[in-house]
A and B are shown apart, each in its own frame.
Chain A
Amino acid sequence: MMAFFSQGGYAGYVWGAFGMTFGLLLIEVLQLRSSRKTTLTRIRRLLRLRAPRQASTEADRQRGTSGPTS
């Protein structure tokens, strides 16, 4: 077991290479997840800002109190 971790005395080089590789890939995956989450939240908020207006115009149209009086 110790022989595996010491890699014949080259542990720093071998684990430095593999560690950086999988560390960076892990960071990339986490970053992708968080950016997806942020984007979804932002778009949802945009839609919510727009939604009440659409809902109220819909209600107004049914009551006939809004829109062009034609």
Chain B
Amino acid sequence: MTINWFKFASPAAFYPIAGRLIPWFSGIALALVLIGLFWGFFLTADQLGGSNPQKEYYRIIFVHVPAAWMSMWLYLVLAGWSAIGLVFNTRLSFMMAKAVAPTGAIFTFLALWTGALWGRPSWGTYWDWDPRLTSELLLFFLYIGYIALHSAIDDTRRADRAAALLAIVGLVMVPVIFLSINCPDPNQCAALHQRSDPGSIHLSILIPMLTMTLGLWSYSFAAVFARLRTIILTRESDNAWVRDVIAQEASA
């Protein structure tokens, strides 16, 4: 069976699909986040590690790591839709990219914020110009730059293309962040930050952390689709199908 993917690339076709998916993603997100929080706060040990234990503040891992992962993943999504939009000139791809950016920026800020609150008790400082902290900060500026550039250009199509190009150029930051956290040769990168090696984490930490990650991922789907629907309505407000949708939603 072959699926004509371009059929779903039409905003009119995707608008109702997104609308039907939002409640599912919201529900899954809520359930997973509640499970993750319950597990992380009540079923894991209060202290972590041997001679120099991480005390209760290590629980910040349950939001810090998921937020940091989402910040990088959503940037890949943003750049991916931008590239598809530039290559195939599909309107929906650009709208998707635009819808991802604010959620990505929020997660990047949260990764920095929760990292600072973890750094203070464990390293003794909120901030350090460590490679991975700095590169995550640059990622935040890239998101802000994308949003700012898009809103600075009045013509929507030009704004889409210019911001998409910025997103693709900024893609170089993602491997920099990832490799500066998961340094291939630890002798060459002297950094405070620990490697994110899931194999070395205790299962009672890993499971709630992954649960929270999936929960926030699901949340991202819901938030991005909700924003996408508003963007679609705004941009397509002259089309007949929007009139029908509005009439339907007024009666419902």
> Closest approach, in angstroms, between the C-beta of A54 and any C-beta of chain B?
11
- Please indicate the chain A residues that have their CB under 8 angstroms from the CB of B249 in the complex: 40
Q: Tell me which of B51-59, B71-79, B181-189, B201-209 binds A.
A: B51-59
Cβ proximity bits B108-124 to A, threshold 8 Å, 1 near / 0 not: 01100110011011000
Contact B103 A16 (CB under 8 A): no
Q: Tell me if B46 counts as interface (CB < 8 A to partner A).
A: yes
> Closest approach, in angstroms, between the C-beta of B222 and any C-beta of chain A?
9
Contact A13 B117 (CB under 8 A): yes
Contact B110 A20 (CB under 8 A): yes
Residue of A nearest to B243 (CB): A47
Residue of B nearest to A20 (CB): B113
Q: Tell me which of B3-11, B131-139, B151-159, B230-238 binds A.
A: B230-238
- Contacts A8-B55, A24-B110 hold; do A36 and B63 have CB atoms under 8 A apart? no
Interface of B (DSSP majority class): helix
Q: Tell me if B227 counts as interface (CB < 8 A to partner A).
A: yes
Contacts of B72-128 to chain A: CB distance below 8 A:
102-103, 106, 109-110, 113-114, 117-118, 120-121
Partner of A10, one of B57, B67, B230: B57
- Contacts A14-B59, A17-B118, A18-B63 hold; do A46 and B237 have CB atoms under 8 A apart? yes
- Please indicate the chain B residues that have their CB under 8 angstroms from the CB of A36 in the complex: 226, 229-230
- Contacts A4-B41, A7-B57, A13-B121 hold; do A25 and B219 have CB atoms under 8 A apart? yes
Q: Tell me if A58 counts as interface (CB < 8 A to partner B).
A: no
- Please indicate the chain A residues that have their CB under 8 angstroms from the CB of B234 in the complex: 39
Q: How far is the CA of A36 from the CA of B229 in the complex (A)?
A: 8
B interface, CB within 8 angstroms of A: 37, 41, 46, 55-57, 59-60, 63-64, 67, 102-103, 106, 109-110, 113-114, 117-118, 120-121, 219, 223, 226-227, 229-230, 233-234, 237, 242-243, 246, 249-250
* Known contacts A8-B56, A10-B57; 11 further A-B pairs (Cβ under 8 A): A7-B59, A10-B55, A17-B64, A17-B113, A18-B37, A20-B114, A29-B223, A32-B227, A36-B226, A39-B233, A47-B246
